[in-house]
Amino acid sequence: MKKTILTGLRPTGNLHLGHYFGAGKTWRTIQDDYDFYLEIADVQALTDNFDNPEKVRKNVYEITKDLLSIGINPEKVHFFIQSRISEIAELTIFYSNLVTVSRLQRNPTVKTEIAQKKELFGNDGESITYGFLGYPVSQAADITCFDGEVVPVGEDQVPLLEQCREIVRKFNSIYGETLVEPQQLLSTTPRIKGLDGNEKMGKSLGNAIYLVDDEKTIEKKVMAAVTDPNKIRKDDKANPDVCMVYYYHKLVNKEENKKKICEECKNGERGCVACKRELIEAMNNFLNPIREKRKFYEEHPEEVDKILDKGTKDAKKKAIETMKRVKKAIKIDYE
Ligand code: TRP
């Protein structure tokens, strides 16, 4: 029997290379080894985008196409939409009794996010919504609804999984062994830096390469990437370790080219413009098979709908089973 894995993403924008190297690539590798539930977390996306439902709606499909284009196989993975599994919302309500408000306020992930969203939640989070503060509870429902045994996570998600495990332990200790306590599968890839060297990557920072970027966009972004500031002339010796162009060569270029690029850069035998040109080519070679796959789904939106319908049906079946067990445990099994 394969173990069950559950992971999710918020449909708030297209996937960039950070998502690919930090998560998507791993999911593709492990999809054969697990019974894999992949949640498009539209309800969670609404917690900080409640005023922009069009954005969430559009990105449910964008993200699904991104995932399919990198080779997440819908024959192996249950793609499903969170809002279509009402059991998750029900579980969230029951779990809410098992979490204190102060514990949520102390959750490091939530704390960081509140600080980042001053416009929405005020300077000290004084306008925080009940829904956003409680999203870790909803995320615990996402996981346990499918008896998720393994959850692949990045560093930033670790406190959310810890919170989930606490809820599970509390539930089981009060109502009897009912829920499965998930284990984390921590991503080993360090966070990918932006083209400007920033630790954080994103649309607003303009420093990320998206899987959907076309050749023109790639050219523009790579030409603007940050190189060794001490290299002034084409034949100056430079330090590739502080150069974002070399950093991205390492991610997408062929093994045999990387050494050469590094040596030539150190010896002053390689100008930055030529090096960027080479990166543009390598980046397009890397993205071309992804673009090719995406094109199919762009031209066949009905296939995307079918994949989401099928995955959601699978998820619903599992959710109903879990809900029965939970209601019995809480003694609200009136049917
Ligand atoms: N919070 C996750 C993120 O922002 C998305 C997510 C929703 C998730 N539900 C999940 C991740 C369940 C793991 C398990 O990326």
Domains of the chain: 4-192+301-329 (3.40.50.620), 215-293 (1.10.240.10)
- 45 near 12, Cβ under 8 Å? yes
Q: What confidence score (pLDDT) does residue 309 get?
A: 98
From 113, 160, 167, 184, give the residue whose CB has the most ligand 1 atoms within 8 Å, as the site to mutate.
Answer: 160
Q: Whose CA is nearest to atom 3 of ligand 1?
A: 9
Could you give the percent of the chain with pLDDT greater than 90?
94
Q: Which atom of ligand 1 sits closest to the CA of residue 143?
A: 12
Report residue 236 as tokens. 């100056």
Region 278-290 average pLDDT? 98
Q: Whose CA is nearest to atom 14 of ligand 1?
A: 7
Q: Is residue 187 classed as helix, strand or coil in its secondary structure?
A: coil
- The amino acid at residue 269 is E
- 218 near 287, Cβ under 8 Å? yes
Q: What confidence score (pLDDT) does residue 54 get?
A: 98
Whether the predicted pLDDT of 150 surpasses 90 = yes
Region 240-245 average pLDDT? 96
Q: What confidence score (pLDDT) does residue 42 get?
A: 98
Beta strands in 125-269 (DSSP E): 150-153, 183-186
Q: Which atom of ligand 1 sits closest to the CA of residue 153?
A: 13
Q: How far is the CA of 9 from the centre of ligand 1 (A)?
A: 5
| DSSP 8-state symbol, 193 | P
Q: What confidence score (pLDDT) does residue 103 get?
A: 97
Q: Whose CA is nearest to atom 15 of ligand 1?
A: 9
Q: What are the Cα distances from residue 113, in Å, to 59, 109, 143, 226, 321?
A: 20, 6, 21, 28, 34
- Confidence bin at 189 (pLDDT 50/70/90): confident
From 157, 183, 186, 187, give the residue whose CB has the most ligand 1 atoms within 8 Å, as the site to mutate.
Answer: 157
Q: Whose CA is nearest to atom 5 of ligand 1?
A: 9
Region 201-213 average pLDDT? 93
Region 294-316 average pLDDT? 98
Q: What confidence score (pLDDT) does residue 203 get?
A: 86
Kindly give, in sequence order, each residue whose CB lies less than 8 Å from that of residue 148, ignoring residues fewer than 6 positions away: 4, 5, 6, 37, 142, 180, 182
Could you give the percent of the chain with pLDDT greater than 70?
100
From 5, 9, 151, give the residue whose CB has the most ligand 1 atoms within 8 Å, as the site to mutate.
Answer: 9
Ligand 1 site residues, Cβ closer than 6 angstroms: 6-10, 39, 41, 44, 139, 142-143, 151, 157
Q: How far is the CA of 139 from the centre of ligand 1 (A)?
A: 7
Whether the predicted pLDDT of 27 surpasses 90 = yes
What are residue 8's DSSP bridge partners? 39
Please choose, from the candidates 49, 21, 51, the residue with its C-alpha nearest in 3D space to the C-alpha of residue 154: 21
Q: What confidence score (pLDDT) does residue 204 get?
A: 85
- The backbone region for 241, taken as left when phi is positive above 0, alpha when psi lies in -120 to 50, beta otherwise, is alpha
Residues found in the chain:
335
- Confidence bin at 190 (pLDDT 50/70/90): confident
Q: What confidence score (pLDDT) does residue 163 get?
A: 97
Q: How far is the CA of 192 from the centre of ligand 1 (A)?
A: 19
Q: What confidence score (pLDDT) does residue 315 get?
A: 98
Q: Is residue 61 classed as helix, strand or coil in its secondary structure?
A: helix
> pTM of the full predicted structure?
0.96
Q: What are the Cα distances from residue 74, in Å, to 3, 23, 67?
A: 18, 17, 10
* Cα gap 282→10, rounded to integer Å: 29
Q: Whose CA is nearest to atom 11 of ligand 1?
A: 8
Q: Which atom of ligand 1 sits closest to the CA of residue 41?
A: 7
Q: How far is the CA of 290 from the centre of ligand 1 (A)?
A: 24
- Confidence bin at 232 (pLDDT 50/70/90): very high
Kindly give, in sequence order, each residue whose CB lies less than 8 Å from that of residue 119, ignoring residues fewer than 6 positions away: none
Give φ, ψ of 43 to 5 degrees.
Answer: -65, -45
Region 196-207 average pLDDT? 91
Q: What confidence score (pLDDT) does residue 187 get?
A: 87
